[in-house]
Amino acid sequence: MKLILLGAPGAGKGTVAKMLTKLDGSVQISTGDILRGAVAAGTELGKQAQAYMNAGDLVPDELIMGIMAKRLQEDDCKNGFLLDGFPRTIPQAEQLKDMLAKLGIELDMAVNIDVPRDVILDRLTTRRTCSNGSCQAIYNVKSNPPKQEGICDKCGSPVVQREDETEAAISHRLETYNAKTAPLIGFYEKEGMLMTVDATSSEAVIEAIQEKLGATA
Ligand code: ADP
Ligand code: ZN
């Protein structure tokens, strides 16, 4: 499947994407993971992105479009892809549309995962992430803690609170989402591609997506 996953920070885009990859071999493409990997590796891209990310601001569109133009042409995208955290602005969505048209790729739909704000806030403040840039496993201190406190189950690296997951940065990220990213819902509605799911469990989101794709296939 070829999907865009929309939703506020903490809506569960990453979790849903990871679950969907297991269904049909589609790959998850998370611009946030790519950027954090670049910051951890100290690459030029990482250096340019870091300050924006720590402040909870969006990284400039040109940097993101450069990453995605390359990423979408890699071989593993042929089996389908789940765009997690991209596009994030109207210009990104417009450029993605042109890019896909040129590559002859057609998306199935844009899924808006619509989760209430109090649930989002609770999830973000309790979220912890593996500090290993090539792992980035996600935990939750309440609902899904690592087996050994502070240590990643998968790779043994320290599990930490992301720098952009302090309370101040979180509220700034939510404002940024409302101002810059929420308008994409209207964009994809006009394109006739929007599906909204208002489930709070990731399992229920997956079911709704499967049902919809089954119905249109
Ligand atoms: P979340 O969805 O939890 O906010 P992400 O992991 O998707 O977090 O992104 C983390 C940060 O990376 C964002 O706050 C932003 O600074 C940057 N980022 C990720 N994707 C994009 C994008 N498509 N456009 C601009 N900035 C992005
Ligand atoms: Zn790990």
Tens-digit pLDDT profile for residues 139-182: 999 999 999 999 999 999 999 998 888 888 888 889 999 999 99
Q: What is the CA(175)–ligand 1 centre distance, in A?
A: 13
Interatomic CA distance for residues 74 and 91, integer angstroms: 23
Q: Write down the mean pLDDT value for the chain.
A: 93
Q: Which of 114, 119, 121, 68 is nearest to 91 (CA)?
A: 68
Does domain 2-26+79-115+174-216 correspond to CATH entry 3.30.428.10? no
What pLDDT does residue 174 have? 92
Nearest-ligand number for the alpha carbon of 138? 2
Nearest-ligand number for the alpha carbon of 136? 2
Q: Between 44-55 and 167-176, two packed helices, what is the crossing angle to 10 degrees?
A: 100
Exposure on the CB side of residue 120, measured as CA atoms within 13 A = 18
Q: What is the CA(135)–ligand 2 centre distance, in A?
A: 5
Binding pocket residue ranges, ligand 1, CB within 6 Å: 9, 31-32, 35, 52-53, 56-59, 64, 85-86, 88, 92, 164, 173
Averaged pLDDT, 192-197? 97
Residues identified as active-site: 13, 88, 127, 162, 173
- Residues with Cβ within 8 Å of 51's Cβ and at least 6 positions away in sequence, in order, are none
Return the ligand 1 atom nearest residue 36 CA: 12
Nearest-ligand number for the alpha carbon of 65? 1
Give, using CA atoms, the residue closest to atom 4 of ligand 1: 9
Averaged pLDDT, 79-103? 97
Q: Which of 209, 217, 215 is nearest to 3 (CA)?
A: 209
Return the ligand 1 atom nearest residue 86 CA: 23
Give, using CA atoms, the residue closest to atom 3 of ligand 1: 9
Interatomic CA distance for residues 208 and 111, integer angstroms: 10
Give, using CA atoms, the residue closest to atom 19 of ligand 1: 32
What pLDDT does residue 93 have? 98
Q: Taking the domains of the chain in order of start, what are their residue ranges?
A: 2-26+79-115+174-216
